[in-house]
Amino acid sequence: MDKSLQQRLIGAVLLVALGVIFIPVLLDGSGYKSRQERSIEMPAAPEFPPVKEFKPKTKVPDLKTASAPTAPAKTETPISSAAPERPVKAFALQVSTVTVKDNAYALRDKLRKKGYSAYVETRTRNGKTSYRVRIGPELDMNRLEKMKKALSKEQGLDGFIVNHP
């Protein structure tokens, strides 16, 4: 018989023999504990001392004998069901986005000296930090449009209007 065929047959016989021995051991269920067999012991409920009855120091007048002056019945005025108020929406003019913190704050200070309400917003995305220089917030978008045109002429900064968080 060929040697490689002989080795294959011996390997197959060994695998079958090991399977016959170990598969019944694994599948007999001896390692399985049923949930129904578990017993849970609950501690006994603690005993609380009886509650003492509270006696007020002053005597409360009986409601049947005490008479209080009654106020005339008020008529309820119906509340007008106006449209629900929308949340206030503000806008900002984003002038620049830079990755160097000092450059962002220098531009912010320059814009503040010119009279704009500038601020820097920090944002980290994918491990990289960027600094957004913005002007605002403003409720009137038209005012920001005018600022945008003025900044474009004066400073050469082209910005865009964004929603202010």
Residue type, 6: Q
Total number of domains in the chain: 1
Examine residue 28 and state whether it is found in any structural domain, yes or no.
no
Residue type, 93: L
- Ramachandran region, residue 156 (left: φ > 0; alpha: ψ -120 to 50; beta: rest): left
CB 163 within 8 A of CB 100: no
Mean pLDDT over residues 48-69, rounded? 71
Examine residue 74 and state whether it is found in any structural domain, yes or no.
no
Confidence tier at 86 by pLDDT (50, 70, 90)? low
**Residue 126: which CATH number?**
3.30.70.1070
For 98-151, the pLDDT digits (tens) are 999 999 999 999 989 988 888 999 989 898 999 999 988 888 888 888 888 888
From the centroid of its chain, how far is CA 51? Answer: 44
Closest CA to 104 of 89, 119, 116: 119
Percent of the chain, pLDDT > 90? 24
Q: Which domain holds residue 101?
A: 91-163
Sheet holding 91-98, edge to edge: 118-125, 128-138, 91-98, 160-163
Examine residue 84 and state whether it is found in any structural domain, yes or no.
no
Examine residue 114 and state whether it is found in any structural domain, yes or no.
yes
pTM for the full predicted model = 0.46
Examine residue 10 and state whether it is found in any structural domain, yes or no.
no
